[in-house]
């Protein structure tokens, strides 16, 4: 599995693809170096972006203030910066999440 995390500044950058209007919030898969999420939020007025940050915050047990969307606000393909977090720790957490 190619990791969707890349070292970035003082943390890690997560490459993901979001599918809005899903029946529930969930991690779909991790393919081709991209984490795929399904979110219930609609893609209007930033609702899906806010839901994405909220979901990732809960998923990785980090405060929302440590996450910032740096690219893809109006696209399904997004890049989220995890501030001051070791990429290797995030990779381990993601492996555990995907194996459940």
pLDDT range class, residue 80, cuts 50, 70, 90: very high
| Predicted local distance difference test score (pLDDT) of residue 45 | 86
Q: Can you give the pTM of this predicted structure?
A: 0.92
The number of folded domains in the chain is 1
- The parent domain of residue 81 ranges over 5-99
Residue 10 CA to residue 39 CA, distance in Å, equals: 28
Segment 92-100 shows an average pLDDT of 90
Is it the case that residue 28 has pLDDT exceeding 90? Answer: yes
Is it the case that residue 1 has pLDDT exceeding 70? Answer: no
CB count within 10 Å of CB 46 equals 14
Q: What is the DSSP string of 50-79?
A: HHHHHHHHHHTT--GGGEEEEE-TTSSEEE
Average per-residue pLDDT for the chain: 93
CATH number of the domain where residue 89 is located: 3.30.1200.10
């Amino acid at each position: 599995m190619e990791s969707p995390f890349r070292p970035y500044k003082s943390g890690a950058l997560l490459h993901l693809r979001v599918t809005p209007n899903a029946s529930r919030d969930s991690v779909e898969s991790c393919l081709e170096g991209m984490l795929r999420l399904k979110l219930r939020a609609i893609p209007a007025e930033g609702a899906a972006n806010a839901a994405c940050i909220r979901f990732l915050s809960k998923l990785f047990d980090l405060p929302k203030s440590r996450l910032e969307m740096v690219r893809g606000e109006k696209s399904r393909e997004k890049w989220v910066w995890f501030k001051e977090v070791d990429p290797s720790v995030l990779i381990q957490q993601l492996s555990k999440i995907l194996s459940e």
